[in-house]
Amino acid sequence: MASVDPHILIAGGGPVGLFAALLLGRRGLRVRLFDENASPQADPRAATTHCATLEILGEAGLVDDMARVGLVAPIFQFWDRPSGTLVAQFDHAVLKDETPYPYVIQCEQFKTAQLILERLKALPNVEVLQSHRVIEVVQRDAAVEITVDGPTGPRKHRGAYLIGADGGRSVVRHQCGIEFAGFTWPERFIVLTTPFDFGAKRGYCPRSYFADPEEWCNCFKVSADGPPGLWRTVYPTDTASSEAQLMSDDAVQARLQKFFPSAEPYQIVHRNLYVTHQRVAARFRHDRVLLAGDAAHVNNPIGGMGLNGGLQDAANLAEKLGKVLLEDAGERLLDLYNLQRRTVATEFVQQQSIANKKQLEERDPETRRRNLDELRRTAEDPALARQFLLRSSLIAAQRRVAAMTLEEVDR
Ligand SMILES: Cc1cc2nc3c(=O)[nH]c(=O)nc-3n(C[C@H](O)[C@H](O)[C@H](O)COP(=O)(O)OP(=O)(O)OC[C@H]3O[C@@H](n4cnc5c(N)ncnc54)[C@H](O)[C@@H]3O)c2cc1C
């Protein structure tokens, strides 16, 4: 027997599933969320939270706490690694008339998840069941039924809708037979985290991108357990080396030393290796099942857009499900969700993240020089810088989809 119907089931308690639960719960809807882990995972993935996403998180009352446990970073830089020169510096302050949040907040995603979890405790209509893995999805008549494997064995749950926010390897997406079209980069990305203070000792700002035809790098500051914080450095790896070779003490030390020569060996507090994809689900809606976050789209992390897109999915979807369930709005609104969020994923996040990577790794000397000159010119011209930042901060994407209507769904 399936348990009593909650209105909405959510598979996945990463930041996207949790944020959807919070927004739906605050509308008074009954929500049951399942996550296979016992608590949010602290691996070094998303930190950069852009203006457009801060606007949504601000409405939910999360931004002050994110700034308290994270870092406010108005500026980011592009460096030319071979010559050691600063090519361009962008200041989000040029967006001060466009957004109440003219900066990014560097807040590790497990901290964002934790802040949301704390708020969910105040909502008796939201149940969070950790150590519960969703294993099967079936749609029947006016309900969706899922099988969930928990500490007491498998059990069925029914709901009016299911949100699949269960990450890039989404069981929900597989169960619905939704294609995840795109490609996987041949090289993996390695993240090496160190307390070495690249700000004080090298003049890098909390988001610094390094172009290099041999091996690019992103260098980010996160607050970790408080001042002075940690720096995460991200590099591509060569495809021939095994994980053991890439992650060995000698190899990670050599990688950091090659990129950022230092008289002392680096203290390395974490090392992580990621396979990276560019994929978008063929559809984000399958009747009563909606995909959000990495379950719906994945991209390389250069530019910090994956989780931002996912949190925006959650807010868009929660608003529409609220209207469908509480205001009798037609289900076609959910097709508008599909159209709006697939547009952001394909026309903004995929394009931008691929372009960001190509820009950093460009090998042709002439193209490289042109790219860097253009970046320099863009940063120096306030009107061009504003356009650039509107796109990189996803404000342009949010404006584009806000203008979309149900009529466009039918076209
Ligand atoms: C190195 C790196 C740096 C990044 N930096 C940024 C950045 O700065 N900014 C940015 O926007 N993005 C960034 N990203 C991307 C970001 O990490 C992801 O987009 C984000 O984690 C997506 O959140 P999510 O909640 O959709 O999925 P996840 O965080 O993957 O969460 C999915 C959840 O579902 C649970 N789950 C999985 N399967 C099941 C199941 N069958 N049943 C129940 N639960 C299940 C998992 O336990 C997990 O808690 C980065 C990624 C990497 C690898």
Residue 177 phi, psi (nearest 5): 65, 30
Distance from residue 184's CA to the centre of ligand 1 (Å) = 17
Assess whether the C-beta atom of 304 lies below 6 angstroms from ligand 1: yes
Assess whether the C-beta atom of 13 lies below 6 angstroms from ligand 1: yes
Q: What residue's CA is closest to ligand 1, atom 31?
A: 14
Distance from residue 256's CA to the centre of ligand 1 (Å) = 26
pLDDT tens over the chain, length 411 residues: 444 566 999 999 999 999 999 999 999 999 999 999 999 988 889 999 999 999 999 999 999 999 999 999 999 999 999 999 999 999 999 999 999 999 999 999 999 999 999 999 999 999 999 999 999 999 988 899 999 999 999 999 999 999 999 999 999 999 999 999 999 999 999 999 999 999 999 999 999 999 999 999 999 999 999 889 999 999 999 999 999 999 999 999 999 999 899 999 999 999 999 999 999 999 999 999 999 999 999 999 999 999 999 999 999 999 999 999 999 999 999 999 999 999 999 999 999 999 999 999 999 999 999 999 999 999 999 999 999 999 999 999 999 999 999 989 987
pTM for this predicted structure = 0.97
Assess whether the C-beta atom of 185 lies below 6 angstroms from ligand 1: no
Q: What residue's CA is closest to ligand 1, atom 48?
A: 14
- Identify whether the C-beta of residue 393 lies closer than 8 Å to the C-beta of residue 305: no
Which tokens hold the place of 95?
């967006």
- Per the DSSP assignment, residues forming a β-bridge with 77 are 89, 208
Distance from residue 352's CA to the centre of ligand 1 (Å) = 19
Assess whether the C-beta atom of 307 lies below 6 angstroms from ligand 1: yes
Q: How far apart are CA 374 and CA 57, in angstroms?
A: 33
Distance from residue 167's CA to the centre of ligand 1 (Å) = 5
Q: Is 85 exposed, middle or buried (0-12, 13-18, 19+ CB in 10 A)?
A: exposed
Assess whether the C-beta atom of 70 lies below 6 angstroms from ligand 1: no
Q: How far apart are CA 136 and CA 157, in angstroms?
A: 10
Q: What residue's CA is closest to ligand 1, atom 13?
A: 46
Which numbered atom of ligand 1 lies nearest the CA of 294?
A: 26
